[in-house]
Structure 1
Amino acid sequence: MLSEKVKTAYDNFYTNSDTEWRMLGAKYKAQNIIDVCKSIKPVKVLEVGAGDGSILHFLNEWNFAKELSALEIAQSGVDLIKSRNLANLKEVKTFDGYVIPFEDDSFDLVILAHVLEHVEHERILIRELKRVAKYIVVEVPKDYRFGVDNRMKHFLDYGHINMYTPTSLRFLLQSEGLEIVTDKVSMTAPETVKFNEFINKKAPKTFVKRIKIELEYRIKKSLGSILGKKKQEQFANAYTVLTKKSDQNLQIF
């Protein structure tokens, strides 16, 4: 069960006024989900840790699935999701962070987007996701870099207690009896970087700075295309992977 200390920290997490920022990031997260799920046609979809419903907004708008459901630990998040009045949203409620209040195989797909890095007991949650759906899509930020331990306060301030690379996440998922169907790495889009720099951080909107952001993105994109998957993963800011229940029981416990 989620500790009371953690629950209290998230209770009012979505009451601040950064809606535009969340929606901008959610647009790209939702697109990543759609990209890795092209081979399946889910009807019933559950998002776990749905936040304020930003991703659900786009999945609903783009008719990703006929039925959308959501779980969130913060009541403030649940209230915001309900206020969106999403046409395809069937149900939204709070949960304790680990126990999924649905029967086995209730959904075609479960979405866990930018949640796992916050989870204290990640394997417990993964097993619950596996119980309620055949397919699971996970997206995590690629926080890990050399010397990341020197930036602990930065990441802990965001509640990021776990660090992943594409390789380490695949290992975690596969060791829990999940089979990798497809995956993708992605870099933060220039418009998102500009918003963070000029709106969130209130940096001066100089021509040089704007060009630098665009060029850095294009250069990394080009180098990744030329040098292959290893370099793409190195440059990535996020990793998205679609998994399904494996016929082989590889779960370690």
Structure 2
Amino acid sequence: MNVSEKVKDSYSSQYDEKSVAWRNMGARYKAQNIVELAKNITFENVLEVGAGEGSILNWLSKWNFSKNLNCVEISESGIEMIKSKNIEHLKDVLLFDGYKIPYPDNHFDLVICSHVMEHVEHERILLREIKRVSKNQIFEVPIDFSFYVDKKINHFLAYGHINIYTPGLFRFLLKSENFKVVKDICYLYEDEMLKPLFETNKKGFYLTKFKMSILRLFPYLLGIKPNAYAVLTTKTDKDLSIF
């Protein structure tokens, strides 16, 4: 199975120089979450699935996260930008069809899949392929859920978000595919990430900050509605669980 042509076309030209600063800033926080989840663990080789334009890999390489970094990506323009960065510890940079990862079983100590699953038409197919090639996994997804999320469909589709998660819903997806959750992070965006989103809406910015202050006071609520959710998993030998 391949990514639908319409979906692939929408990503093939999305990476350009104008988006570099924003993506690089966001990638630093995503990379920090990866490092936090992997604290005290050494990974000899690492694969990023859906590497975009390579900003996360660039940070991980600078921080010596692993000296054997690799990636697969569906976007030709993303591949070009990754290669242009000359990332020190990056070995393979491969174009793939969105589902079939061209490596043998258990090849990687760790697969990273950050802000990808919300874009994927057939999530379970990709999850099974990630599970096949890796021993450990780190996923991060944005938490777009609200009780009236359907009223914002045009907004989310404009970002290519075709799947909506809460931390619990994403854990359900992983656990039903028999990934074992080891450690997770419910993450709230820093001001430098929020301000560009509210350039013309100061009221929206301060309202968002107020909501975030409430979430920090109540860990239970933070576990339901953070800005993003990151999780370290290991695989089991079981497949889809149907009881």
Superposition TM-score, scaled by structure 2 size: 0.93
Question: What does residue range 51-200 of structure 1 map to in structure 2 within 5 Å?
Answer: 51-198=52-199
**How far apart, in 1, do the equivalents of 2:241 and 2:224 lie?**
29
**How far apart, in 1, do the equivalents of 2:211 and 2:47 lie?**
33
Matched residue, 1:233: 223
Describe the superposition over 1:8-47 as per-residue Cα deviations: whole angstroms up to 9, x where unpaired.
1111111251111111111111111111111421110000
Asked if the contact 2:198–2:204 (Cα under 8 Å) also holds between the matched residues in 1, the reply is no
Describe the superposition over 1:71-90 as per-residue Cα deviations: whole angstroms up to 9, x where unpaired.
11001000000000011000
Asked if the contact 1:49–1:112 (Cα under 8 Å) also holds between the matched residues in 2, the reply is yes
Asked if the contact 1:67–1:89 (Cα under 8 Å) also holds between the matched residues in 2, the reply is yes
Query: Does the alignment pair 1:219 with 2:213?
Result: yes
**How far apart, in 1, do the equivalents of 2:23 and 2:88 lie?**
20
**How far apart, in 2, do the equivalents of 1:22 and 1:38 lie?**
24
SS at match of 2:182: strand
Structure 1 residue ranges without an equivalent (≥5): none
Query: Does the alignment pair 1:243 with 2:233?
Result: yes
Describe the superposition over 1:35-78 as per-residue Cα deviations: whole angstroms up to 9, x where unpaired.
11114211100000000001111111111111100111001000
Describe the superposition over 1:144-187 as per-residue Cα deviations: whole angstroms up to 9, x where unpaired.
01100111110011111101111111111111111001001001
Letter in 2 for 1:238: A
Change beyond 3 A, Cα 1:33–1:172: same
Q: How many residue pairs align between the two structures? A: 241
Structure 2 residue ranges without an equivalent (≥5): none
User: How well do the aligned residues superpose, as a CA RMSD in angstroms?
Assistant: 2.0
Query: Does the alignment pair 1:25 with 2:19?
Result: no
Change beyond 3 A, Cα 1:75–1:42: same
**How far apart, in 2, do the equivalents of 1:149 and 1:222 lie?**
26
Q: How far off its partner does 1:6 sit? A: 1.3
Change beyond 3 A, Cα 1:251–1:87: same
Question: What does residue range 28-39 of structure 1 map to in structure 2 within 5 Å?
Answer: 28-39=29-40
Asked if the contact 1:73–1:95 (Cα under 8 Å) also holds between the matched residues in 2, the reply is yes
Letter in 1 for 2:119: H
Letter in 2 for 1:252: S
Q: How far off its partner does 1:214 sit? A: 9.3
